[in-house]
Amino acid sequence: MSTGTHPAGARGAQAERYPGDRSGPGDLDDRVEVAASVLALLADRTRLSLVERLGRGEADVTTLTEACGAARPSVSQHLAKLRLAGLVTTRKDGRRVVYALGHGHLRRLVDEALNVADHQLRSLPPHD
């Protein structure tokens, strides 16, 4: 979605629909585009499992491989994509590379997605 394709009036109307939003008129398009990119990365089962595990604390590749059940080279490739997107960070601990989530919003996003899955799988009643 490109911010340049919206007439000025439509962009102004967008800002009015979200009175609590402190961003400028064109910022919603940018935010939606970035959010779609994040969600697309998380649409992969292995990456979602990795982020879920990292939401419980830092881990190295060996721990993450065991947690998600994928082959180590695959886990390394998925971690590289998450790191390139800025969703995970790394630090050295001796010879090991330790991974962590870039911020708590990502953990909460995955937690909520898993809550939705619980509701669908267990036919739980909806709530706010």
Residues with Cβ within 8 Å of 82's Cβ and at least 6 positions away in sequence, in order, are: 41, 47, 50, 51, 88
Evaluate whether the domain defined by 45-128 bears CATH number 1.10.10.10: yes
- What are the pLDDT digits (tens) for 57-116? 999 999 999 999 999 999 999 999 999 999 999 999 999 999 999 999 999 999 999 999
- What are the pLDDT digits (tens) for 29-71? 999 999 999 999 999 999 999 999 999 999 999 999 999 999 9
Domain edges within the chain: 1-43, 45-128
* Predicted local distance difference test score (pLDDT) of residue 22: 60
Q: Whole-angstrom Cα distance, residue 93 to residue 81?
A: 21
